[in-house]
Amino acid sequence: MPQLPPVKNVLYIMCDQLRRDYLSCYGHPHLHTPNIDRLAAAGVRFSRAYTQGTICGPSRMSAYTGRYVSSHQVAWNAVPLPLEELTLGDYLRPHGIRTALVGKTHATANVDALQRLAIDPDSQQAEIFNEVGFEAYARHDGIYPDSPLFDDKRDSAPYTHYLRDLGYDGANPWHDWANAGAAEDGEVLSGWHMRNAHLPARVQEQHSETVFTTDRAIDFIQEQGEQPWCLHLSYIKPHWPYIAPAPYHALYGHEHVLAPIRPTKASDHPVYTAFRQHEESQNFSRDEVRLNVIPTYMGLIKQVDDQLGRLFDLLQSTGRWDDTLIVFTSDHGDFLGDHFLGEKEFLLEPAVGVPLIVRDPRAAADATRGTVDERLAETIDALPTFLQALGITGAEHRLEGRSLIPLLHGHNPAWREYAISEYDYAFQAPARERLGQPIDRCRMTMVRSERWKYLAYDGFRAQLFDLDNDPQELNDLGADPAYAAVREQHAGYLFDWLRGLKRRTTISHQEVDRRAESFRYGEPETEKVVKIGVW
Amino acid sequence: MPQLPPVKNVLYIMCDQLRRDYLSCYGHPHLHTPNIDRLAAAGVRFSRAYTQGTICGPSRMSAYTGRYVSSHQVAWNAVPLPLEELTLGDYLRPHGIRTALVGKTHATANVDALQRLAIDPDSQQAEIFNEVGFEAYARHDGIYPDSPLFDDKRDSAPYTHYLRDLGYDGANPWHDWANAGAAEDGEVLSGWHMRNAHLPARVQEQHSETVFTTDRAIDFIQEQGEQPWCLHLSYIKPHWPYIAPAPYHALYGHEHVLAPIRPTKASDHPVYTAFRQHEESQNFSRDEVRLNVIPTYMGLIKQVDDQLGRLFDLLQSTGRWDDTLIVFTSDHGDFLGDHFLGEKEFLLEPAVGVPLIVRDPRAAADATRGTVDERLAETIDALPTFLQALGITGAEHRLEGRSLIPLLHGHNPAWREYAISEYDYAFQAPARERLGQPIDRCRMTMVRSERWKYLAYDGFRAQLFDLDNDPQELNDLGADPAYAAVREQHAGYLFDWLRGLKRRTTISHQEVDRRAESFRYGEPETEKVVKIGVW
């Protein structure tokens, strides 16, 4: 590829728990998202993008490090990222690019490692690590349960202060106003309970989380003016608690709820069967629950789209649309009762498929604007894309994703044969105990090739789905002898992937090359420092 | 296993570049090592022990972390260990056990990571990381070439000061006296040149590296008195430069040099062929070189054995023999011309096989004293053995080795089916360029099962040796169609190994269990902090 002038800014927009197919540009028949569609029309929409982990923490750490979950080690939520993993901010900061967070990261301070290094976890020195490399311009992780465990986080959260300053009172205004409705007698009805999903949230729409988050993003962009920036705009929604402020609570009705995707004869796979027994799966398997929750889920997405309209208008009116690389994506999906499952852990399409829209403002990307790219993309591709767009090199020994820039510019490079996603149910006692698996043998790994999805399990047979002929994954071919060769091929992909994980991250390829020179024998211009095996 | 009172101290003795078969207890017909044999008679000798990496840095970091090279990431010498890898000292220090180094570690300061953490690499805070967890009681890495790159290391090394104080003068007394001989006219003849290997070193024997190192170990043990300790006594010898002080330079002659192990028809494997072209391989393929070097190599080992006699006598006279777990091993071997190779990188037995003798002083180990254990042991087993002997638990999420204590105590636990070793020739420009491999596709991996050795390569066919019928690895079955099933079986082992590497090191199994409890539904005593999927 020819060398291009770099882009100036990066806007990395992420939703939380947004299914790929709940956007009109990805085909939802009732949920119209004209602003996200506007971005797709101005960029490239990846139709087969996958997250590397199906819950927040693992997925996000893959996004921020450009590495698979098995490499960055954040196997579950609230597992600390090793301090030595470099993140988006770590790569950009040395180049003078302010890299800020507005919204959620799900980052967990690596207190043990900090203490071992004699760094006070509450110190200024620790902050950049606690924030996984971001400047926490306005961190809003969104979930503040009524538990002493969360008191500190809630009381220091900017959104808590914002609500209190506006007169929303109580110990937990996040819960009591933004994530609760009210009974006719005024009783506070918690958004934690899905039976309350149809109620309007008690907060006014202009004070809700999605608007607050957008406001802070606009503040940051305006504050930066002509200075270069990277902003991670990371909405907590449409993640549960499923409750929306008026009018979004009532935009959609039962008639807009699509029929669930459910096999006539469900797979008897033991891990799938165990996941179906989770409380959220049991609840979402009831029509009553789906019909109460999904319209609100749609309303929450509609609100995000409206807010992105505000933001995109600002970018266009200030010239930022023309010098900013924009990515829109989600950290994972939501089963919403499909496959008789709730939540998102299991590695089927409703959870593992994510929207991914990328707009490169440069003229080199003009030819692909508005196109759909079917190549397999991964969440870990965002960071290499940003680095290439900004002209930053030298991280090949760490990065496991691939820059999408060549694709945006109409090139046709050799591309990946399969996408990978991982989930570890060691952290879910019910499934682990039902299945009788030891704590380090609870891994599920997806290998998704052009046609097939292969799901490998510790201790159980694989599952296999033919996505060409069975895009809804209704028919598990994992035990069918006719597909033994396909399974073997995908086990081979899994081997190649394991073998190819980057496992020499403390020195660069360039440094390896420099040192290798000292082994070049017989060239007088190179002095060998250590004289091995000389007679 | 029943709970036993822990041992009090640990003595972890390591030689450098000592072949397993160059000790009389491992069968050498001419080289008598009565003191190492004494330890074997009082403990268990593992006849099939393997190092995880065939050069110093990777092997040693596996020893100190209890983890495979692919996990700790030190793919070659002078590659820094990630700061978050816990080492022997890190595990023992919190339990009040002083963990000291006398001799070599080949540790390289992780300057980049320290600087990113705003820790001055030269500060007191950094020192424990620079020394990979050891208290550097007397670090002696042994190799101080005449290069400005090594000036600082040489001038700060305790052995340099020791020699200077004794009147050995010059800028580099390590080289000029301890690792050089003299011509008749007094000219200094460098030990770097193997043609000088037959000469006595210019240093007096009592001031040589092996005696100096033993002296410091005795100092440390005496200083500790009755306080618990762990000492890593790490001799630089018989590693090159191959030159020994009198009388050890002349104890063995050409008649004591065993015939080289060489196939009649050598394998045409491209990687093997490339390694045969290295300068040290070319030189060691000449009889003249072997006959000049090997007697000195034997003398250097004999000197280590004599010094260990001094040390063991001290332990026995002070009671330490009875409360100290002792391990004797080496970091890797030396081809010495076998297979037409020099040095040690390639994963054949002369390089990858190491001596491993373990003595547990407790009565529970009495029944196995003097026995030979043929089970597959690995260098990474030492650390878990120490931890179990000392009663330290909780590192299962990091450790990849297995405690040998049950074996020493006569139990018969389920044991590993294969041993693994790794080498990465990316760091050797000649081999890499001859083979035309990219920098991240230069990996060799050994899978050694009970009967077979399978060597996997990036980009080339595997090699296969039948160690039952061809213990000298003279006949490469890697391209023989008759052994396709054996190769497939071992590719399966490699897959299992890759899949089983520990990739969630920032939180313990216990912590996973604690968190998993919050997912146990319906048990009133456990409060779920986050209420997911509740109707």
CATH of the domain at B380: 3.40.720.10
3-state percent breakdown (helix, strand, coil) of chain A, nearest 5: 40, 15, 40
Q: For residue range B301-318, what is the model confidence (pLDDT) as tens digits?
A: 999 999 999 999 999 999
Terminal-residue alpha carbon distance, chain B? 47
Nearest to A147 among B76, B83, B529 (CB): B529
Asked if residue B35 is part of any domain, the answer here is yes
Minimal C-alpha gap between A168 and chain B (Å): 22
Mean of the per-residue pLDDT values for chain A? 95
Asked if residue A195 is part of any domain, the answer here is yes
- For chain B, positions 469-498, list CB contacts with chain A under 8 A: 491, 494-495, 498
b/e sequence A374-383, b meaning 16+ C-beta within 10 Å = ebbbbbbbbb
> A259 touching B, CB under 8 A?
no
pLDDT of B525: 45
Percent of chain A at pLDDT above 70? 97
Tokens coding A185: 């007698």
> A316 touching B, CB under 8 A?
no
pLDDT of A522: 44
> B148 touching A, CB under 8 A?
no
Whether B388 shows a pLDDT value over 50: the answer reads: yes
Count Cα atoms within 13 angstroms, Cβ side, for A123: 12
Whether A2 shows a pLDDT value over 90: the answer reads: no
Cα separation, B535 vs B531, whole angstroms: 10
Is residue B454 within 8 Å of residue B491, measured between CB atoms?
yes
Return phi, psi of residue A293, to 5°: -90, -45
Is residue B101 within 8 Å of residue B136, measured between CB atoms?
yes
- Using a 10 angstrom Cβ sphere, with 0-12 exposed, 13-18 middle and 19 or more buried, the burial of residue B187 is exposed
pLDDT of B518: 67
Q: For residue range A52-69, what is the model confidence (pLDDT) as tens digits?
A: 999 999 999 999 999 999
pLDDT of B282: 96
Grade residue A528 by pLDDT with cuts at 50, 70 and 90. low
Radius of gyration of chain A (CA): 24
Asked if residue A534 is part of any domain, the answer here is no
> A153 touching B, CB under 8 A?
no
Q: Which residues of A touch B439 (CB under 8 A)?
A: 509, 512-513
Q: Which residues of B touch A500 (CB under 8 A)?
A: 440
Nearest to A75 among B426, B504, B517 (CB): B504
Grade residue B383 by pLDDT with cuts at 50, 70 and 90. very high
Chain B interface disruption, residue of A519, A520, A525, A528, most B CBs within 10 A: A519
Does A70 sit within 8 Å of B505, measured CB to CB? no
Nearest to A512 among B194, B439, B499 (CB): B439
pLDDT of B527: 54
Mean of the per-residue pLDDT values for chain B? 95
- Non-local (6+) Cβ contacts of B154 within 8 A are B144, B160, B172, B174
pLDDT of B2: 58
Three-state secondary-structure class, residue A203? coil
- Which residue is closest to A501 within chain B, CA to CA? B70
Return phi, psi of residue B49, to 5°: -100, 140
Q: Which residues of A touch B274 (CB under 8 A)?
A: none
Sheet strands (E) in A260-321: none
Q: For residue range B179-225, what is the model confidence (pLDDT) as tens digits?
A: 999 999 999 999 999 999 999 999 999 999 999 999 999 999 999 99
b/e sequence A32-70, b meaning 16+ C-beta within 10 Å = ebebbbbbbebbbbbbbbbbbbbbbbbbbbbbbbbbbbb
Does B194 sit within 8 Å of A534, measured CB to CB? yes
Q: Which has the closest alpha carbon to A245: A213, A288, A197?
A: A197
Whether B532 shows a pLDDT value over 90: the answer reads: no
Three-state secondary-structure class, residue A401? coil
Which contacts (CB < 8 Å, 24+ apart) does range B169-172 have? Answer: B171/B146, B172/B144, B172/B146
pLDDT of A152: 87
Cα separation, B103 vs A238, whole angstroms: 59
Grade residue A252 by pLDDT with cuts at 50, 70 and 90. very high
- Domain of B379? 9-518
Cα separation, B83 vs B131, whole angstroms: 11
Secondary structure (DSSP) of B315-341:
HHHHTGGGTEEEEEEES----TTGGG-
pLDDT of A518: 67
Asked if residue B529 is part of any domain, the answer here is no
Minimal C-alpha gap between B515 and chain A (Å): 7
Q: Give mean pLDDT, residues B52-58.
A: 97
Q: How many domains does chain B have?
A: 1
Q: Give mean pLDDT, residues B398-424.
A: 98
Asked if residue A170 is part of any domain, the answer here is yes
Kind of pairing, strands A460-466 and B9-16?
A: unpaired
Whether B5 shows a pLDDT value over 90: the answer reads: no
- Which residue is closest to A444 within chain B, CA to CA? B499
Rounded to two decimals, what is the model's pTM?
Answer: 0.96
Q: For residue range A334-370, what is the model confidence (pLDDT) as tens digits?
A: 999 999 999 999 999 999 999 999 999 999 999 999 9
> B287 touching A, CB under 8 A?
no
Grade residue A524 by pLDDT with cuts at 50, 70 and 90. very low
Percent of chain B at pLDDT above 90? 91
Is residue B31 within 8 Å of residue B357, measured between CB atoms?
no
Q: Which residues of B touch A531 (CB under 8 A)?
A: 145, 192-193
Minimal C-alpha gap between B502 and chain A (Å): 8
Kind of pairing, strands A44-50 and A371-373?
A: parallel
Grade residue A527 by pLDDT with cuts at 50, 70 and 90. low
Cα separation, B361 vs B369, whole angstroms: 10
pLDDT of A521: 47
Terminal-residue alpha carbon distance, chain A? 48
Tokens coding B85: 């890898």
Grade residue A526 by pLDDT with cuts at 50, 70 and 90. very low
- For chain B, positions 359-398, list CB contacts with chain A under 8 A: 396-397
Does B503 sit within 8 Å of A150, measured CB to CB? no
A15: enclosing H helix or E strand = strand A9-16
Asked if residue A533 is part of any domain, the answer here is no
Asked if residue A470 is part of any domain, the answer here is yes
> B351 touching A, CB under 8 A?
no
> A116 touching B, CB under 8 A?
yes
Is residue A60 within 8 Å of residue A389, measured between CB atoms?
no
Is residue A362 within 8 Å of residue A7, measured between CB atoms?
yes
Three-state secondary-structure class, residue A452? strand
The number of C-beta contacts closer than 8 angstroms across A and B is 216
Asked if residue A292 is part of any domain, the answer here is yes
> B509 touching A, CB under 8 A?
yes
Secondary structure (DSSP) of A54-94:
SSHHHHHHHHHHTS-HHHH---STTPPPPTT---HHHHHGG
- Non-local (6+) Cβ contacts of A510 within 8 A are A394
Q: For residue range A116-126, what is the model confidence (pLDDT) as tens digits?
A: 999 999 999 99
Nearest to B117 among A83, A515, A534 (CB): A83
Whether A475 shows a pLDDT value over 80: the answer reads: yes
Q: For residue range B259-283, what is the model confidence (pLDDT) as tens digits?
A: 999 999 989 999 999 999 999 999 9
- The amino acid sitting at B318 is T
B512: enclosing H helix or E strand = helix B509-516
- For chain B, positions 91-110, list CB contacts with chain A under 8 A: 110
Is residue B299 within 8 Å of residue B18, measured between CB atoms?
no
Does B90 sit within 8 Å of A426, measured CB to CB? no
> A459 touching B, CB under 8 A?
no
- The amino acid sitting at A523 is E
Does A504 sit within 8 Å of B112, measured CB to CB? no
